[in-house]
Amino acid sequence: MKYSLFQNITILFSGLIVLFIIAPLFSMFIQTGKSEFLEIIVDEDVLNSIWLTLSTAFMTTIIFAFLSIPFAYLMARNDFPFKGVLQGIIDLPVVIPHSAAGIALLGFVSRDSALGKFANIFGLDFIGSSLGIGIAMAFVSLPFFVNAARDGFYNVPRRLEQAAYTLGASPFRTFITISLPLAWRNILSGFIMMFARGMSEFGAVVIVAYHPMITPVLIYEYFGAFGLKYARPVSVIFVTISLLVFIILRSLSKDRDIVRA
Amino acid sequence: MLELKNISKKYKQFSLKEINLRVENGDYFVLLGNSGSGKSLLLELIAGLIQPKEGEIYLNGDNLTKKPIQKRQIGLVFQDFALFPHKTVQENILYALNVSGEGNTEKKAKLNDIAVRMNIQHLLNRMPGTLSGGESQRVALARTLVKKPKVLLLDEPLSSLDVQLRSGLRALLKEINKKGQTIIHVTHDYDEAIALGKKVAVIDDGKIIQSGTIQSVFKNPESEFVANFVGMKNFFKSILYQNKERTFAKVNGETEICLLSDDEEGEGYVMIRDEDILIYDKRPESSAMNNFEGIVKEAIPARLGMEVAIQASLLFFVLITHESYERMELEQGKKVWISFKASAVRFLKT
């Protein structure tokens, strides 16, 4: 088959863009020696940080996703004054520098703040704890979930909800049995995106909670203290695990695919 | 009895103005109007999906106006069926019963009963996305009827079906109505109104222009709009029968009109367009099967030409040009013959 000049240029540019993403990751993998890798894989600090990162990101995503589902539904189903402004606020964490987000959060949850003092009553501390890590992760990753869930609800035909009402279902029952299952794919996809974004967060977390160390902070620490040689194997492990988790969650979301009318 | 009193509502680009309507229990009531006339909006108001700005809705004396949709006992079948795509046919039908929290045995009995009535037993485990239009329509009907609504609202139920499927569904709807189910059916198609309705209301620009029995509205349109939309002055209730391989419609037990039809024998309406009838001075010699002698009763100027009423064994209306009218000197009382072809006669079975 003969390609036109335009098609050739398109293919060339596409190849370059894909290479731009693949090449650094690939070189990192091949440059990591077997012995360095084996040494790091048994390093307790590394293993603990990976577990902390995954578990905190997961718990944060579950809690905040659950809490933001009603908001996503509200945004999809209702028109009200300043809705555009509200949408802009939701998207804010995506556009501001994450270190700035960390600074903002730090002021908000520090021990001297109202929230910090309130949490202190229950013996909780946001700073330097997994709670603070979770807050920082949620702040920067929540827009991914809210927007995906909102699109999911928006795509559920209103007719189906109305049909449920005429069959006697209450708005809550209709939400649980019709809207939620039909928006499920988008919700799950938003969940995965939020989780992925949360566990890879560095800027906001490093300011709110340097310790206990999540893996992105640990990689930075190893790089600063021991150099590239030590930071690379940790990166390899974390990227591999991230990819595996991502692939597993994606395949789960595909199983949930439903037949649409 | 469902009663709408002075209902007004503005909704997006549609509006309803002072709608008054009475639908007796057991009626098959057809709301006939063009798209954009407000007929579907009226249906949504009755169902409770939207609230009227003014006016009240009563069902058997009970004021429904402020009642939530869930408590109205009114079933609505949407034009696009609105089957839940993530539930099987069976789950779709059971949905309404699950809401009311009935026992399993009772639910199963009701499911089987409605599945048999709608002839969908073989579809129960299918997903809605795999059903044809006709099957979806029957499932949507089953899902609504299983709750035994006091009034069944149908929004253009035949519009998305193939012509072949329509007669089957018409028969089904008639059967449902015969068992006592009150039905309000919205359509833009007057064939449907004639074939199914006992009563009809013509709606245009958010107002009910005329309502009454099918015969009264179709035969005596009170306004130009109704006349243009449904007006069919040569419109007679009749009985179809076959005789010596020919088909006739007998009107008033005496007048026989020959026609072409593959319908089965039975009741219905015959219609002849007034421009399809010819007037002669004497009995015509032509291939036309229908020839009647009568006298000119009156002649009224119409928008195009003259409309001449001729009293034969039935009163026929004939549309002719001014020129013909003058040439034939069709003054009142003049004896004439009228003639029309069997193929110009339409029969709609009821």
Q: What is the pLDDT of residues A8-25, one digit of tens each?
A: 999 999 999 999 999 999
Q: State the nearest Cα–Cα gap between B43 and chain A, in angstroms.
A: 12
> pLDDT-derived band of residue B234, with 50, 70 and 90 as boundaries?
confident
On chain B, the residues whose CB falls within 8 A of the CB of A170 are 70
**Residues forming beta bridges with residue B267, ordered by sequence position:** B239
> Of A76-90, B5-19, B32-46, which has the strongest mean pLDDT?
A76-90
User: Mean pLDDT over residues B157-175, rounded?
Assistant: 85
Indicate if the pLDDT at residue A259 is higher than 50: no
User: Mean pLDDT over residues A84-109, rounded?
Assistant: 93
Q: List the single range of A94-103, B132-141, B162-171 with lowest mean pLDDT.
A: B162-171
Whether A166 sits inside 8 A of B83 (CB atoms) is no
**Rounded Cα distance, B96 and A168, in Å:** 6
Tokens of A88: 């802009």
On chain A, the residues whose CB falls within 8 A of the CB of B70 are 165, 168-170
pLDDT at B160: 79
Candidates B80, B95, B127; nearest CB to A167: B95
Q: List the single range of B86-95, B257-266, B333-342 with lowest mean pLDDT.
A: B257-266
Answer for the pair B30, B190: CB distance below 8 angstroms, yes or no.
no
pLDDT at B162: 80
Tokens of B6: 């002075």
Q: What is the pLDDT of residues B329-342, one digit of tens each?
A: 998 899 999 999 99
What is the ipTM score, two decimals? 0.82
Q: What is the pLDDT of residues B281-332, one digit of tens each?
A: 999 888 889 999 999 998 888 777 888 999 999 999 999 998 999 999 998 8
**Rounded Cα distance, A151 and A4, in Å:** 38
Whether A166 sits inside 8 A of B85 (CB atoms) is no
Q: List the single range of A167-176, B73-82, B261-270, B309-318 with lowest mean pLDDT.
A: B261-270
**Rounded Cα distance, A51 and A101, in Å:** 24
What proportion of chain B, given as a percentage, has pLDDT over 70?
98
- Look at strands B278-280 and B335-340 and give their pairing: antiparallel
On chain B, the residues whose CB falls within 8 A of the CB of A169 are 70, 95, 99
Q: What is the pLDDT of residues A139-182, one digit of tens each?
A: 999 999 999 999 999 999 999 999 999 999 999 999 999 999 99
Q: State the nearest Cα–Cα gap between B96 and chain A, in angstroms.
A: 5
pLDDT at A261: 36
- Residue partners of A256: CB distance under 8 A and separation at least 6: A184, A185, A188
Nearest CA in chain A to B146: A167
Answer for the pair A164, A173: CB distance below 8 angstroms, yes or no.
yes
Whether B129 sits inside 8 A of A260 (CB atoms) is yes
Our separate counts of H helices and E strands in chain B read: 9, 20
Whether B84 sits inside 8 A of A167 (CB atoms) is no
Say how many C-beta atoms besides its own lie within 10 A of residue B8's C-beta.
14
Indicate if the pLDDT at residue A199 is higher than 90: yes
Answer for the pair A148, A187: CB distance below 8 angstroms, yes or no.
yes
Answer for the pair B251, B257: CB distance below 8 angstroms, yes or no.
yes
**Residues forming beta bridges with residue A102, ordered by sequence position:** none
More confident residue, B256 or B301: B256
Cα B135 versus chain centre, distance: 22
- Residue partners of A100: CB distance under 8 A and separation at least 6: none
pLDDT at B231: 63
Overall size of chain A counted in residues: 261
By a Cβ cutoff of 8 Å, what residues of chain B touch chain A? 47-49, 69-70, 74-76, 78, 80, 82-86, 95-96, 99-100, 127-130, 143-144, 147
Report the predicted TM-score, pTM, of the whole model to 2 decimal places.
Answer: 0.80
Indicate if the pLDDT at residue A257 is higher than 60: no
Answer for the pair A86, A138: CB distance below 8 angstroms, yes or no.
no
Say how many C-beta atoms besides its own lie within 10 A of residue A139's C-beta.
25
pLDDT at A3: 84
pLDDT at A260: 41
Whether B75 sits inside 8 A of A177 (CB atoms) is no
> pLDDT-derived band of residue A111, with 50, 70 and 90 as boundaries?
confident
Indicate if the pLDDT at residue B228 is higher than 70: no
Answer for the pair B227, B57: CB distance below 8 angstroms, yes or no.
no
**Rounded Cα distance, A215 and A52, in Å:** 8
By a Cβ cutoff of 8 Å, what residues of chain A touch chain B? 157, 159-160, 162-170, 173, 177-178, 181-182, 258-261
pLDDT at A258: 46
Whether B96 sits inside 8 A of A162 (CB atoms) is no
pLDDT at B230: 67
Indicate if the pLDDT at residue B26 is higher than 50: yes
Q: Which of A165, A166, A187, A257 to mutate to test the interface with B (most CBs of B within 10 A)?
A: A166
On chain A, the residues whose CB falls within 8 A of the CB of B85 are 160, 182, 258-261
User: Mean pLDDT over residues A125-134, rounded?
Assistant: 89
What proportion of chain A, given as a percentage, has pLDDT over 70?
97
Whether A169 sits inside 8 A of B49 (CB atoms) is no
Q: List the single range of A74-78, A165-169, A197-201, B35-39 with lowest mean pLDDT.
A: B35-39
pLDDT at B56: 94
Instruction: Tell me how far apart the terminal alpha carbons of chain B are, to the nearest angstrom.
Output: 23
What proportion of chain A, given as a percentage, has pLDDT over 90?
75
Answer for the pair B74, B145: CB distance below 8 angstroms, yes or no.
no
More confident residue, A254 or A189: A189
Answer for the pair B325, B308: CB distance below 8 angstroms, yes or no.
yes
Q: What is the 3-state secondary structure (H, E, C) of A152-205?
A: HHHCCCHHHHHHHHHCCCCHHHHHHHHHHHHHHHHHHHHHHHHHHHHHCCCHHH
Please provide the average confidence, as pLDDT, over all residues in chain B: 90
Instruction: Tell me how far apart the terminal alpha carbons of chain A are, to the nearest angstrom.
Output: 38
Tokens of B268: 């219905």
**Rounded Cα distance, A70 and A75, in Å:** 9
